[in-house]
Amino acid sequence: MTDEYGFGNPEIIEEEVDILLIGGGMAACGAGFEIMQWIEEARKQGVDLKVKLVDKAAMDRSGAVAQGLSAINTYMGENDPSDYVRYVRQDLMGIVREDLVFDVGRHVDDSVHNFEKWGLPIWKQPGDEGKSLAEGGKPVRSGRWQIMINGESYKWIVAEAAKKSLGLENIQERVFIIRLVTDKNDPTRIAGAAGFSVRDHKLYIYRFKCCLMAAGGAVNVFRPRSVGEGTGRAWYPVWNAGSTYAMAAEVGAELTLMENRFVPARFKDGYGPVGAWFLLFKAQAMNAAGEDYQTRNADLLQKNGYGKYVKGHAMGTCLRNHLMMHEMKEGRGPIFMDTPTAMKNLAANMTPREIKHLEAEAWEDFLDMTIGQCGVWAGENIEPDKEMSELMPTEPYLLGSHAGCAGIWCSGPDDVPGTPDHYHWGYNRMTTVKGLFTAGDGVGASGHKFSSGSFTEGRIAAKALVKFAMDNRDWKPEMERSVDDLVQEIYRPVRNFLEHKDYTTAIDINPHYITPKMFQFRLQKVMDEYVAGVSTMYQTNAAMLKVAEKKLDMLREDSLKMRAKDLHELLRAWENYHRLFAAFAHMKHIQFREETRYPGYYYRTDHLDLDDDNWRCFVNSTYDRDTGEWSLKKVDWKQLVKE
């Protein structure tokens, strides 16, 4: 009967390496590209290290850049990394790890120069078309930190470099790591990981000295705006399941700023990017009456203590959302992007040929990174150069690399002046669990890295991983859990199905198990209605959060009853387990922080003020796997770069 559903006795593959890289996105590719040169240096010193990269998907189209991008949002060029720190600090409402942000800023340009060398087309200003950035070529900037690219194949190019560096024999694709395992003799140290193939009937057990956990952020934790026929459409990649946060926290890693989330304002339904339209094409957003709502509502920014993070026209991304949401609540929606006027103004002094080129670039902005938006326009007979398009804030996402800063508390560099001791306790980008490193969406309190910064952070972590492995060359990992125990846990959803499938005539309806799809609907409903999702206009309070906690506790019980009738459902079951864990952390952090630090991302209606006197600090948490309880605390913030 097990063979009928593709399940028999799985092949168990055990492997021991020195360094395991988990993930295949920009951060993991950065680590994969960088690590081999340091492994070669170790070899020269007589230490032979083995590395393996394991990706749930396939590196060529894995991670947030899978569809491509039309801009690189972090490139210093003529700018000072200290100014970059100031920008990130203001955008994220005053609380960031400035040592981590500065560390990315001082190294990121080298990564971008590599992208161009590997074949990524980067726009240049007139007269500099033949020059590379490294040779002094001036890029076309859509903003102070952003440069325009033709980036449909961006991820493919970067993955190729990582694969060439690592060697295909050191890469395992289509394997989903679902559990980290601590050391038998030291519970504060990482020793192994377990997962399964999403293509073949195989389980994988890895033992290692150290690992990089870089599996992205968390999507589909909240009920999306795209439902029914549109289910599956989201702004951030739907395969990002909070695995980075969940697996790290379950082995004791300290999380930070998990109350933060990102709510991007994007073209409605297609989730298409607005950056190029705002910054490059100079389009204006307006309310239904054709008014500039940001000017109309400027006084709002001075209320509730939000004004401290507004400097002229510069304000935090969440505050722009705040103004948009106010218009919608007041009944002056829909909000539109005036694309026709922007195109008309740009075309005023152009030849017909130049106008056609402009129109092509406007379309390519979406074809490079959000093809679904083109589908929405085509399906609704919208020509964006002739008809305005609606803007809408999306459902919330948990991430640490875009305009958000949720993630894991990490040790930073040791050479940034003024760094306090609690910012640096070990190897760069190592978590509070010895040997467990992270990068990209995994690193908390350090947003606005975007694609180039995430790749750079992977490189930074790779160097530290090799140093850790060399310093611990004689240490032998012993996992605290047996292989059989891990196998039984991984296949629990399979057993749930096989043992109870004959109880009912319809296999999807059964009192003994729940399908991963239905479990996800339950999670999204709770988060949407009680933890500041779209249905409450991103509002919550202590009473709502208390209800959410009770319901999420029940969901935690339900999670043990998820079923898997095939490998795909096994994948979905474990993704949803990780989503639940990330959701619980997010809820606990919002519950703990009694202020509204990120208006426009979420509102504590019982604490609407931004309270710098009491809450300009990090909120950190740890999870006790023995008791299932969370501990939260305030951690001091330190300013390293002056205003």
Task: Dump pLDDT digits (tens) for 500-516.
Answer: 999 999 999 999 999 99
In one-letter notation, the amino acid at residue 279 is: L
Q: Which pLDDT value is given to residue 333?
A: 94
| Confidence band for 3, pLDDT divided at 50, 70 and 90 | low
94-150: per-residue pLDDT in tens? 999 999 999 999 999 999 999 999 999 999 999 999 999 999 999 999 899 999 999
Torsional sign, CA 461, 463, 467, 473: positive
Least confident range from 82-86, 277-281, 307-311, 447-451: namely: 277-281
Asked if the model's pLDDT at residue 531 lies above 90, the reply is yes
Q: Both 28 and 141 in a single domain?
A: yes
In one-letter notation, the amino acid at residue 378 is: A
Q: CA 622, CA 630: separation in Å to the nearest integer?
A: 6
Question: Which DSSP string corresponds to 235-249?
Answer: SS-TT-BSHHHHHHH
Q: Which structural domain, as residue segments, surrounds residue 296?
A: 265-391
Residues in the chain: 643
For residue 536, give the 3-state DSSP assignment: helix
Q: Both 224 and 127 in a single domain?
A: yes
For residue 310, give the 3-state DSSP assignment: strand
Q: Is 638 domain-assigned?
A: no
The mean pLDDT of 31-55, rounded to a whole number, is 98
Q: Both 199 and 54 in a single domain?
A: yes
The mean pLDDT of 162-174, rounded to a whole number, is 99
Q: Is 634 domain-assigned?
A: no
Q: What are the two backbone dihedrals, phi and then psi, of residue 538, each rounded to the nearest 5 degrees? A: 65, 30
Q: What's the mean per-residue pLDDT of the chain? A: 96
Q: Is 208 domain-assigned?
A: yes
Q: Is 628 domain-assigned?
A: no
Q: Is 479 domain-assigned?
A: no
Beta strand pairing call for 51-55 and 171-173: parallel
Q: Is 639 domain-assigned?
A: no
**pLDDT > 90 fraction of the chain, expressed in percent and rounded:** 90
The mean pLDDT of 232-243, rounded to a whole number, is 95
Q: Both 76 and 217 in a single domain?
A: yes
Q: Which pLDDT value is given to residue 81?
A: 98
**Cα 176 vs. chain centroid, distance in angstroms?**
17
Q: Which pLDDT value is given to residue 40?
A: 98
Q: Which pLDDT value is given to residue 5?
A: 58
The mean pLDDT of 405-433, rounded to a whole number, is 98
In one-letter notation, the amino acid at residue 637 is: W
Q: Both 420 and 379 in a single domain?
A: no
Find residue 634's DSSP bridge partners.
619
Q: Write down which residue in 365, 391, 417 finishes a domain.
A: 391
Q: Which pLDDT value is given to residue 486?
A: 97
Q: CA 491, CA 203: separation in Å to the nearest integer?
A: 10
CATH of residue 563: 1.20.58.100
Q: Which pLDDT value is given to residue 343?
A: 86
Asked if the model's pLDDT at residue 1 lies above 60, the reply is no
Q: What are the two backbone dihedrals, phi and then psi, of residue 321, each rounded to the nearest 5 degrees? A: -60, -40
- Residue 251 is given by DSSP the state T
Q: CA 550, CA 555: separation in Å to the nearest integer?
A: 9
Q: Write down which residue in 356, 391, 426 finishes a domain.
A: 391
The mean pLDDT of 239-261, rounded to a whole number, is 99
CATH of residue 335: 3.90.700.10
Q: Which pLDDT value is given to residue 240?
A: 98
Q: CA 86, CA 166: separation in Å to the nearest integer?
A: 36
Find residue 147's DSSP bridge partners.
72, 141
Q: Is 642 domain-assigned?
A: no
The mean pLDDT of 275-292, rounded to a whole number, is 88
Domain total of the chain: 3
The mean pLDDT of 544-570, rounded to a whole number, is 98
- pTM for the model: 0.97
For residue 151, give the 3-state DSSP assignment: strand
